[in-house]
Amino acid sequence: MQTAATKLSKEIKTLGLEQYTLELETDGITIVPPEVTGVTDKVLDRCTEVLLKRFTEMTGGCPISIKEGPKGELTWPEGTRSQLRDENEPPLPTQMLIQQLLQLDRCFRDLAVNPVVDALIDHAMGPISVLGGKARRLSSTNSFVKWQGDYGYGKYLGLHCDQGANPLPWGHTAMTANATWCLTDYTKEDGALAYVPGSHKLNAHPAQPAAAKQAVAAEAPRGSVLIFVGSTWHGAYPKLTPGLRLNCVSYYRHVSTLPQENLKFTMRDEPWEDCDNPEMMRELLGFDDKFPYEVQTQAVPQLTAAI
Ligand SMILES: [Fe+2]
Residues in CB range of 101: below 8 A, 6 or more apart: 108, 141, 142, 143, 248
Q: What is the pLDDT along the chain (307 residues), one digit of tens a residue?
A: 444 455 899 999 999 999 999 999 999 999 999 999 999 999 999 999 999 999 999 999 999 999 999 999 999 998 887 766 555 677 789 999 999 999 999 999 999 999 999 999 999 999 997 777 999 999 999 999 999 998 778 899 999 999 999 999 999 999 999 999 999 999 999 999 999 999 999 999 999 999 999 999 999 999 999 999 999 999 999 999 999 999 999 999 999 999 999 999 999 999 999 999 999 999 999 999 989 999 999 999 999 999 8
Indicate if the alpha-carbon torsion angle 135, 138, 144, 145 is positive or negative.
positive
Q: Give the integer Cα–Cα distance in Å for 28 and 26.
A: 6
Give pLDDT, residue 250.
Answer: 98
Nearest to 25 by CA among 253, 268, 206, 198: 198
pLDDT score, position 88: 65
Q: What is the pLDDT of residue 211?
A: 97
Could you give the CA distance from residue 108 to residue 275 in angstroms, rounded to a whole number? 9
- How far away, in angstroms, is 306 Cα from ligand 1 center? 60
- Measured at the CA of 241, the angle between CA 235 and CA 245, to 5 degrees, comes to 50
β-strands 69-70, 95-99 pairing: unpaired
Ligand 1 centroid–CA 300 distance in Å is: 44
Tell me how far the alpha carbon of residue 283 lies from the centroid of ligand 1, in angstroms.
24
Per-domain residue ranges of the chain = 10-285
Torsion angle of C-alpha atoms 205, 207, 211, 212, degrees rounded to 10: 100
How far is the centre of ligand 1, averaged over its atoms, from the C-alpha of 235 (Å)?
A: 6
304 C-alpha to ligand 1 centroid (Å): 56
Nearest CA to 257 out of 136, 99, 159 is that of: 136
CA of 281 to the centre of ligand 1 (A): 23
CA of 144 relative to ligand 1 center, distance in Å = 11
Tell me the CA distances in angstroms from 190 to 54, 69, 86, 230, one per residue in order: 22, 12, 22, 24
**CATH 1.10.10.10 matches 10-285:** no
What pLDDT is stored for residue 6 in this prediction? 59
186 C-alpha vs ligand 1 centroid, how far in Å?
Answer: 16
Q: What is the 3-state secondary structure (H, E, C) of 247-304?
A: EEEEEEEECCCCCCCCHHHHCCCCCCCCCCCHHHHHHHHCCCCCCCCCCCCCCCCCCC
The alpha carbon of 58 and the centre of ligand 1 are apart by a number of angstroms equal to: 23
CA–CA gap between residue 193 and residue 67 (Å, rounded): 20
State residue 87's pLDDT score: 56
| Ligand 1: centre distance to CA 126 (Å) | 21
